[in-house]
A and B are shown apart, each in its own frame.
Chain A
């Protein structure tokens, strides 16, 4: 299992073919091979949430997934969600509320927040905090992030842009 393995996957709507070592994790594959550096690596043991990406629609810790496990999968990263406009309202709310300082946790936070809002259109603050409980932010103290997600949820429900 030390020779490169051919994988084929879809990343942000683009077909990607690659040969990767079996031990390579998805976070390193996205960052080092595809240069999609918006997926951040904070702990490499599945605690901090900075490397959160979507695999076939579900959010996962890309440091805990091997690249070869993503064979034939549909991967979406922060770059993809940004370019598609899917989370532009959430990003605007984060900007207006200053729900980021250093920005290192932000891509993972946005991924997780969007995941919550897709599952639950009107979460209360406790539910937001609970859903974010696997995403570490050292800068903000979380309140601004909770505010921004709450605002986005309300505006989506009210059908405002």
Chain B
């Protein structure tokens, strides 16, 4: 934690003796995972449970002429073989649009394809059998006759009149277009001394969660109730959607989420095969388990990025940036995903480009087109890596053109730290950011001048190292502005209930979810700090729609900022209630008492008055001894949603130091630095690890990860040997530092940190590669930066 400053600002209810806020404490219950004794969905078994395997389309676009399952039905273990048509009697189709994304259109999608398949991997039939192996055996004997249709694969020609229209009813292949024009862009370019243009190309990649998507759906026909065990980030969203399309009330659906083997946005969506699994459970009146295998994961987990973005920047000789302009194109597969839609990433790109900088002149167009490839949707740091790479790539091109140092051009253009609150030309509102403080800290952490000297010295020995800088902003703590206003039944508020039990232990039920980020830890830290109990007394319950308050879950860096504030406020109420009861018992006044180390103490000298376990004993078992006018309430619930700002923006800056082997085209990452500002830090270690993990996901996109499709829409590298992922031996150590600007919208002051690492990592690497290759007068604006790309740019192949 080089350069880390983990001291939070003073906090009323949190700035207490033995507070856990701002402290590195181990996450509760890690031993369960360390001993292999977690409970992931893939581990769950229920009585009478059957397994489903899906027959999937080998074609990107085809009519389904006939499905013949006669050879498969008599095979061992087979329980049922169900087509899309048959399943449609149980579950209704959906359309992935939201009203606040004006003009967004998509076609009706079914749980299992009916009549036509639109991407390679779309399910055409479900085979249910006693074991997964038997289901797969039988699936191989389901004969599907297809009539091939022309596949639309290249987003650049998707809108051409000669290109077939994937969904005739939509009229064209354009899902969404957004245009934005702020300030005086044409004049600003005219006023610039230099105008630089480039096209940035981003590979389509995917999340590769180590545990694939998995669901067990259990319909109890006597209770008329469906229990869904699923690795999801948003249990209440799944409850709502499952109920809606199965014709049930939400009360008839319970969603349980135990341990989740990685999410990163992959598991925040509603997938057709998961909907099919819910429907099969209802249809067959038994528990059905679906666990995607790795090929299914590559072909059906949402993909992300896949943008081609033309960018333009104007700059004066003194380094001032006069304007940004972008024209972004992205292909999202054949359907907009449900229910969050596939227009959000392009929309974010428009929102975020130029975001760290002062210029008010900004023009943008984003177009989102349909293709016959796997669906694309929100994945960690939605839109941020695109916007950051385009913005920071342009800024570096401008700096190089006017021969200015990359740090200096940023110093001259980043929004001043005392300029807040302020807005961006795309309409974002910033409460408080710290670009300059972050940049100064980064320069110091990385010893910038020494690195530059080292770089120059090595160049004389034909060793090509580069430094890349990337400033960024990050969307966190989303309010209803993200989804709710568009009509999605996705909660932006979260709730926490805290309860003191007789032995002085605390139960905390929260609607945020855990996928390893530390939701459980931060909830326990906050509750324990406010209540004055030790953390090991707090048990956190999450991921169960029957047993937590209603809320959004964990996505878009909202857990700490929103769920954490709800925990803080609920704990404050419980603390007050405890002190009122204690005052009655002790014939004192609440304000004269405090709770420290699991005991009620005198506020003035902390002398012990009563253990919480004694208070619990009296309240629960001897209430007859309490004064007659006292009704203790040792459970308290509070909810929270941001209202002042639609999003709590954070900021930061990253730097990459790397070496390019100009003979092989390989890039060796030597070191990476991040300084970010997520406001109040609840647990410095957890924040730093979120940043590091996020950076490595961005580094994967920068160097390795790409879903390679051929011209027929076939995914050619749908396995972990051919789709390259970052492994330990290729990754650098990452130093993380912080600037702390708490949001004033909450008492806690926490903003999110989940996207920051991913937001800027690829931009920093791309800038560093270009910096390394500067002697060769070549510029690369495409990721992943494979040896082939680099050697081509060097004209060596």
Contacts and interface: CB of A to CB of B under 8 A. Distances in A.
Given A102-B515, A135-B728, A143-B733, A44 B293 contact: yes
Contact of A102 (B34, B259, B692, B757): B259
B42 interface: yes
Contact of A44 (B37, B294, B515, B695): B294
A99 B296 CA distance: 29
Contacts, number: 173
A82 B262 contact: no
Contact of B26 (A21, A38, A40, A98): A98
Given A21-B133, A40-B42, A103-B261, 14 more contacts: A38-B35, A42-B210, A42-B211, A48-B210, A79-B37, A82-B35, A101-B518, A102-B262, A102-B263, A103-B30, A107-B36, A137-B210, A138-B209, A143-B734
A97 B694 CA distance: 17
B26 A96 contact: yes
Contacts of B350: none
Contacts of A103: 30, 32-34, 38, 259, 261, 516
Interface in A29-70: 31, 36-45, 47-48, 50
B729 A37 contact: no
Given A137-B210, A138-B697, A144-B692, A95 B30 contact: yes
Interface in B209-224: 209-212
Nearest to A111: B36
B269 to A, nearest CB: 17
Given A40-B211, A44-B293, A102 B261 contact: yes
A151 B263 CA distance: 29
Interface string B688-709: 0100111111000000000000
Contact of B262 (A37, A134, A138): A138
Contacts of B697: 138, 141
B27 interface: yes
Contacts of B37: 38, 79, 82
B586 to A, nearest CB: 39
Given A104-B262, A107-B36, A47 B721 contact: yes
B190 interface: no
Interface in A82-141: 82, 91, 94-98, 100-107, 110, 125-126, 128-130, 132-141
A149 B500 CA distance: 39
B720 interface: yes
A146 interface: yes
- Among B33, B40, B262, B725: residue with most chain A CB under 10 A: B33
B92 interface: no
Contact of B693 (A21, A126, A129, A139): A139
B728 A102 contact: no
Nearest to A47: B720
Contacts of A133: 727-729
B731 A129 contact: yes
A106 B211 contact: no
Interface of B: 26-27, 30-40, 42-43, 133, 207-212, 259-264, 293-294, 515-518, 685-686, 689, 692-697, 719-721, 725-729, 731, 733-734, 757
A100 B518 CA distance: 10
A11 interface: no
Contact of A140 (B31, B689, B719, B725): B689
B729 A98 contact: no
A145 interface: yes
B294 A43 contact: yes
Contacts of B26: 95-96, 98
A78 interface: yes
Nearest to A96: B26
A126 B31 CA distance: 27
B36 A48 contact: no
A39 B36 contact: yes
Give the 3 A-B CB pairs with smallest separation, nearest first: A38-B36, A103-B33, A101-B516
Contacts of A138: 207-210, 262, 264, 693, 697, 725
A50 B42 CA distance: 13
A78 B685 contact: no
Contact of A98 (B27, B210, B259, B515): B27
Contacts of A107: 36
A78 B36 contact: yes
Contacts of B695: 141
Contact of A41 (B33, B42, B719): B42
Nearest to A144: B689
A130 B720 contact: no
Given A141-B693, A142-B696, A144-B689, A100 B210 contact: no
Given A43-B720, A91-B31, A101-B517, A141 B692 contact: yes
A152 interface: no
Contacts of B259: 102-104
Nearest to B696: A141
Contact of B720 (A41, A48, A128): A48
Contact of B40 (A43, A94, A104, A110): A104
Contacts of A78: 35-36
Contacts of A94: 30, 34
B728 A95 contact: no
